[in-house]
């Protein structure tokens, strides 16, 4: 079945009308059941790849601050869940429910889709892990007495900010590499996802034309 987006007045007679949710559900089911995985690899495995990249960058950020604050094995699992596991799950959810959905429903331009994917990737792979790691590791460090604030009142914020900037300097190069990596990876995956979807639409159109031609020939044969 070939699916085409169109205005009500453009819909031909006999066509089956589907809601946005029905279209999305049908296309996702078709993608998952597609026999040749390599033809639709980005649509099938692109989002898990992006989610795995989030796990890598989040883990590096978390381990860096754990070592700097001498936490050893204290709170390892407690910090791993919200800082590494949660953002990777949300990355896959957002990429699937926003980026992939936009591709399937053809709601946005290619540049908008790629930009959206980049922001999701940077938010879940860099911004959230960095902010939550800084807060989480320093909270555990204060409990273990490996780091304590000396100032009081408003000066506490300034002291904490200067401390974070100081210990974070060795991480800046890696953060820059991660930012570039996430941007390039998300752009590449979204680009191939759009190409995969266009390939799928062409295949569906080709199949429909073949079915129409076969039906036409069968009718001609029956009239003879």
Whether the Cβ atoms of residue 162 and residue 168 lie closer than 8 Å to each other: no
Whether the Cβ atoms of residue 196 and residue 43 lie closer than 8 Å to each other: yes
pTM for the predicted model, two decimal places: 0.85
187-207 mean pLDDT: 90
Residue 28, class by beta-carbon neighbours within 10 Å (0-12 exposed, 13-18 middle, 19+ buried)? middle
Spell out the alpha helix ranges (H) of 84-127. 86-94, 101-105, 110-122
* Length reported for the chain: 224
- The pLDDT tens digits for 91-100 are 999 999 999 9
117-138 mean pLDDT: 95
Predicted confidence (pLDDT) at residue 72 exceeds the cutoff of 90: no
């Amino acid at each position: 079945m070939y699916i085409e987006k169109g205005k009500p007045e453009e819909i031909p007679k006999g066509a089956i009308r589907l809601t946005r949710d029905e279209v999305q559900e049908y296309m996702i089911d078709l993608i998952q059941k597609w026999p040749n995985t390599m033809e639709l690899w980005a649509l099938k495995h692109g989002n898990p790849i992006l989610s795995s990249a989030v796990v890598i960058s989040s883990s590096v950020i978390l381990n860096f601050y754990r070592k700097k604050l001498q936490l050893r094995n204290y709170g390892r699992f407690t910090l791993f869940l919200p800082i590494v596991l949660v953002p990777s799950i949300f990355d896959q959810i957002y990429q699937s429910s926003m980026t992939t959905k936009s591709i399937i429903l053809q709601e946005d331009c290619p540049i908008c889709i790629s930009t959206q994917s980049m922001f999701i990737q940077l938010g879940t792979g860099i911004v959230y892990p960095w902010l939550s790691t800084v807060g989480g590791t320093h909270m555990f460090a204060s409990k273990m007495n490996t780091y304590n604030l000396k100032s009081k009142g408003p000066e506490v914020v300034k002291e904490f900010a200067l401390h974070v900037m100081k210990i974070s300097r060795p991480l800046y190069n890696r953060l820059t590499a991660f930012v570039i990596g996430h941007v390039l990876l998300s752009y590449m995956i979204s680009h191939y996802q759009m190409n995969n979807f266009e390939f799928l639409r062409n295949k569906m159109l080709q199949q429909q034309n073949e079915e129409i031609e076969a039906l036409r020939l069968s009718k001609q044969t029956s009239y003879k």
